[in-house]
Amino acid sequence: MEMTQIVIDVPRDVLDAVKLPRPEVEKELRQELALALYERGALALGKARELAGLTRWEFEELLGRRRIVRHYTAADLAEDIHYADSN
């Protein structure tokens, strides 16, 4: 998978205010971004899951815990069919 790096500058005082252990901050920020973009419809489930760094089932569980309605589009169906065919 080809990766492109995007750097987001976060003010130090904001980063210091995050109430998470330092090693977890990047992972949590990626998950929060993935959830927000998915909820807005800006990312499909598979891409949001990929951004979050979670398995499909982990991401679905996270959606449930956050009470985020799952969007099921034609693209999601195509991705599910592709996944089913590849196994």
Amino acid at site 80: D
Residues whose CB is less than 8 angstroms from the CB of residue 64 and which lie 6 or more positions away in sequence, other chains included: none
Per-residue pLDDT tens digits for 69-78: 988 778 778 8
The mean predicted confidence, pLDDT, of the chain is 90
| pLDDT category of residue 37 using cuts at 50, 70 and 90 | very high
Q: Where are the domains of the chain?
A: 41-87
Q: What's the pLDDT at 2?
A: 80
2 dihedral zone (left: phi>0; alpha: psi -120 to 50; beta): beta
